[in-house]
A and B are shown apart, each in its own frame.
Chain A
Amino acid sequence: MDALHNLMMGFSVIFTPQNLWFCFIGSVVGTLVGVLPGIGPLAALALLLPVTFKLAPVAGLGMLTAIFYGAMYGGSTTSILVNIPGEAASVVTAIDGHEMAKQGRAGAALGMAAIASFVAGTLALLAVTFCSPVLTAFALRFGPPENFGLMLFGLVCTLYMINGSKLKGVLMLAVGFLAATVGMDVVNGRDRFTLGNINLAGGIEILSVVIGLYGVAEILVNCETITKNHLLAERIRGLWPTLADWRASWLPMIRGSFVGFFFGMVPGGGPVTASFMSYALERRMAKDPSRFGKGAIEGVAGPEAANNAAVSGSMIPLMSLGIPGNAVTALLLGALVIQGIQPGPMFITQRPDLFWGVMASMYVGNVFLLLLNLPLAGLWAQCLRIPYRVLFPMILLLSIVGTYSANKNVFDLWVMLGFGVVGYVLRKLQYDFSPFLIAFVLAPILEQSLRQSLVMSPDGILIFAQRPLATGFVIASVVLAILVFRQRKSLQPQGDIS
């Protein structure tokens, strides 16, 4: 009952004109980002992060999360209609969705994708609502040693989410950690790696890093080619699925929700993995697997449910423990830090208004997205006609204004540019930035927690053996790290990013 009471409180927070407006804006931008192939949810979130500076935390975070799950909705539209997935989690939807469109059933595929997304989003949010009080009780037992153990655990978990070469991922993790140590040491006031530059005394600005790595690097990649316009000539009819479609889809929808929720919660999961796992599961469970790839509606319902449920699932470790499971949630964690909010286990207890407000905004956002996507699917598909040269100046200016607005310091622009160029080169060489970003955000908390733990402990490092929860996290981290390194085969550098 507590959960319901808290959720009602969240709705009372979100039901203000300003919060609803920004949730709506986030839903629209998210759908657009999902539709347009030139820009992914990560780049969009990075570029729009500065917009949240002047907003109330609930409005800002509500908008950013709406962009995240809005992109999942939007991505399916272009996957189905023109076989161009606007973002990675919708790649699998294109397999059967576009086949359905070719058979003249685009409306049913779009309708089912939107409904499955809505159902899964709502189911996953209900799960988050009832899981959170359990986690809150657990979080009350946290002090600096437990925090250190948790952050260590979070960093080790990052090893499991590395795309491509694990070795390159470990390297990026270390570089991210190192970048976070730049600046004045808060304990003894000593400068670390500032190279005598006063602009670096306060550390590297997270916005410069994020906008450089995800915004500028993306602009550079997109500038390599001149994008062509795509036209959608046909009209879309029959958005409401038939009874047979419903019969075939309701179970895949439920299964997809569970798969998505689970893969959203585990580190390294997220919407992309969830949608592929759901598709594989549906294909395996189907009476006639040969239908898959030829326009099976289960191949749309399952993955679409999974990628939306994964978004909600990924909010659990982020909001309740302060551990991001993927790059997007790492960025949302960065947004919390920018807003001056300390992420971590005490977050739900200390800021229930924000936590429940954001959860409520996700319910509302799902309704917005259903209304935006079902009747307006054709309109969204027409957005593919927008040439990149229209978006390009806007993206460029957003990246500059966004970076500059943090500290009103031109030095941040140089840092952004540096990270952008380095990010472009690293992208070409198939480095994954997620470990860098996660380490960059978690490192200061980890270092501070370790120092606080040792200061408060009369027995030095033995404090980690005296506190069961901290011991558990440290042991789990060591075991997980050993398991990663025992997988010798996967540790060997691989050439491609999946």
Chain B
Amino acid sequence: MIERGLNIVWCLLGLGTMVNAWNLGLLGPTGPDSGLFPMICGVIIAVCGLVLLLRRSAYVADPVWPRGAQMWRIIGVVAGLVSMAISLPYVGFAVSSAITTFVLLQAVERSRLLESVILTVLSVAFVMYVFGNLLGLSLPRGPWGW
């Protein structure tokens, strides 16, 4: 089901690319225009997607998708990353990463409370020290200056 959906997405992506590439123009006065290579890519993607969609043998025999607790773990990690991407510019790296790491360790890895606290503090401190101090990269800071 998922694979069939993906193959349809490939076909649509290929067709969309072809239309867009045509509008960009294929050939200019000195050679290829902006749309030539995207047009070639679009054709390949659409054709491959169509062949994959139509050939039964192209489908993965028995894909193992996560279920139950596994599924929740995956959703938890993605949600953690999403929340961190949203909160990063507002509360800074230290706070957003500490909250995300702690919540994920508790919810996804099922660590004990003390272990989660220690791991969170050590991980955030290590990354901040390496990137912020040793490598001199500026990490986003919150309204309180860190």
On A, residues with C-beta under 8 Å from B are 50-51, 53-55, 165, 167-168, 170-171, 173-175, 177-178, 181, 185, 187-188, 190, 192-193, 216, 219-220, 223-226, 388-390, 392-394, 396-398, 400-401, 404-405, 408, 410, 413-414, 417, 420-421, 424-426, 428-430, 443, 447, 450-451, 454-455, 460-461, 492-493, 495
Contact of A397 with B124 in the complex, beta carbons under 8 Å: yes
Complex contacts, B144 vs chain A, CB 8 Å: none
Residues of A within 8 A of B34 (CB): 185, 187-188, 190, 192
Contact B74 A223 (CB under 8 A): yes
Report chain B residues within 8 Å CB of A495: 57, 59-61
Q: Is A51's CB under 8 angstroms from B130's CB?
A: yes
Instruction: Name the residue among A50, A165, A226, A404 with the largest chain B CB count within 10 angstroms.
Output: A404
A405 to B88, CA, bound (A): 12
Give the residues in chain B near A400, CB-CB below 8 Å.
81, 84-85, 88, 97
CB distance from B106 to the nearest CB of A (A): 11
> Would you list which residues of chain B between 66 and 120 have a CB under 8 Å from chain A?
66, 70, 73-74, 76-78, 80-82, 84-85, 88-89, 93, 97, 100-101, 104-105, 108-111, 115, 119-120
How far is it, in angstroms, between the C-alpha of A495 and the C-alpha of B82 when the chains are bound? 33
8 further A-B contacts with Cβ under 8 Å, apart from A171-B49, A190-B24, A428-B60, are: A181-B38, A216-B81, A220-B78, A400-B81, A404-B140, A413-B85, A417-B81, A454-B32
The smallest C-beta distance from A166 to any residue of chain B, in angstroms, reads 10
Query: Within 8 Å CB of A417, what residues of B?
Result: 78, 81-82, 85
Pick from A185, A192, A394: contact of B126, CB under 8 Å: A394
Interchain residue pairs with CB less than 8 A apart (10) = A51-B131, A174-B45, A223-B74, A224-B73, A389-B119, A393-B105, A394-B126, A408-B140, A429-B6, A451-B31
- Cα distance A121–B60 when bound, in Å? 38
Return the CB mask of B40-62 against A: 1 if under 8 Å, else 0. 11101100110110010111110
**Which residues in B have their C-beta under 8 angstroms from that of A220?**
74, 77-78
Please tell me if the beta carbons of B52 and A167 are within 8 angstroms of each other in the complex: yes
Interface bin, chain B: 35 or more
**Which of chain A's residues have a CB closer than 8 A to the CB of B85?**
400, 410, 413-414, 417
Interface of B toward A, CB cutoff 8 Å: 2-3, 6, 10, 13, 17, 20, 24, 28, 30-35, 37-38, 40-42, 44-45, 48-49, 51-52, 55, 57-61, 63-66, 70, 73-74, 76-78, 80-82, 84-85, 88-89, 93, 97, 100-101, 104-105, 108-111, 115, 119-120, 123-124, 126-127, 130-131, 135-140
Please name the residue on chain A nearest to B62 by beta carbon. Answer: A495
Q: Is the interface of B mostly helix, strand, loop or mixed?
A: helix
- Contacting B137 at CB < 8 Å: which of A54, A426, A492, A493? A54
Minimum C-beta distance from A38 to chain B (A): 12
> Which A-B residue pairs are the 4 nearest by beta carbons?
A454-B31, A493-B58, A174-B44, A171-B48
- When C-beta atoms are compared, the residue in chain A nearest to B124 turns out to be A397
Q: Which of B10, B93, B135 has the most CB of A within 10 A?
A: B135
B38 in contact with A390 (CB, 8 Å): no
Given A178, A193, A450, which contacts B45 in the complex, CB threshold below 8 Å? A178
Q: Do B55 and A177 touch (CB < 8 A)?
A: no
A390 to B20 CA separation, bound complex (whole angstroms): 47
Partner of B38, one of A167, A178, A428, A450: A178
Across-interface contacts of A413 in B (CB, < 8 A): 81, 84-85, 88
Bound Cα distance A421, B64 (Å): 16
Which residues of B are found within 8 Å of A224, using beta-carbon distances? 66, 70, 73-74
Of the candidates A173, A393, A410, which one forms a contact with B88 in the assembled complex, judged by CB atoms under 8 Å apart?
A: A410
A192 to B, closest residue via Cβ? B34
Give bound CA distance, A461 to B64, whole Å: 49
Give CA–CA (A393, B100) in the complex, Å: 9
Distance of A171 Cα from B48 Cα, bound (Å) = 6
